[in-house]
Structure 1
């Protein structure tokens, strides 16, 4: 009887190990096949994001791009520079949200918070026609925010995963998506210096 129990235990172990191996082999194989259909830059974009998560411990920090504003440049000069660059790229400012509230007293002073919204309606329509989910990322936003030291920052969503994180976009859409990303990043880089 003891031998039979041991024999059945070994058979049960082999079956469990076989099931695990089969699951890993077929599930992993399925995932690898699906991953091979992604844009060639997808894995690099995800790894870059994951490296930032490991460094900061915060997914939110890994999903944004930030540029420090030159201390000699006024916030209004930053806004005007970004507006000019957007206009030159056929994008329009569709919103300006002032989030600072002078009535809030938190013991640290009143932090400057402002969100500027930009869009190219024709590009937005094409992307929503492609996938309704793109609408959740519109309009493009740039946050102007003051940190605890009084330094000001421009922060926007890093757009690499939207461009490269899935199947390769059709060529015309990729061109337009890269145009929007490049314009947003240019607005931040030059706007932070008051340049346009």
Structure 2
């Protein structure tokens, strides 16, 4: 009897916790934005993944773009599986003020934040820097954003391209 009460207690608790999820509804997207293009650059010969990472961090700092997170996914997979993994690190960069203005315009734009750059080693051992290349003009049309905000977003995009190119070349 005691185990039956415990079972129903667990089931009841699970239902109470799941209730808010069942009531949640997906947000209606601001528009039917097309999937963004990808900006992808191969590391130059002689540039290591660590050199690229250091170069991106230094360039981001020089451009006043904050590195808000670095996710060493390959190390996490290696810790779980016990097997060596190809390098896969996600860097998240942000211009917080521009991000706030974008989200103030439309909450759905939060899915683009923060800006991510992936450092990925492919099956052949070549390392790539990859990011989503947002179509700023389309975002501006869909969100009816001000010219000033569009310029800020374009600057962030261009700064991210500069960060990736510095990483790919190993520029310090």
The residue that corresponds to 2:99 in the other structure is: 124
Confirm or deny: 8 A CA contact 2:92 2:116 kept in the other structure: yes
* In structure 2, distance between residues paired with 1:191 and 1:99: 19
* In structure 1, distance between residues paired with 2:108 and 2:86: 32
Q: TM-score, normalised by structure 1?
A: 0.63
Larger gyration radius, structure 1 or structure 2: 1
Counterpart check, 1:84 vs 2:58? yes
Which of 86, 99, 116 in structure 2 is aligned with 1:111?
A: 86
RMSD of aligned Cα (Å):
2.1
Gapped regions of structure 1 (runs ≥ 5): 1-45, 50-58
After superposition, the C-alpha distances for 1:52-106 in whole angstroms (9 at most, x for unaligned) are xxxxxxx7xx731100012311222211211121112211000000111225378
Secondary structure in structure 2 of the residue aligned to 1:165: helix
Confirm or deny: 8 A CA contact 1:71 1:151 kept in the other structure: no
Counterpart check, 1:153 vs 2:128? yes
The residue that corresponds to 2:163 in the other structure is: 187
Q: TM-score, normalised by structure 2?
A: 0.71
* In structure 1, distance between residues paired with 2:105 and 2:64: 21
Secondary structure in structure 2 of the residue aligned to 1:143: strand
Gapped regions of structure 2 (runs ≥ 5): 1-32
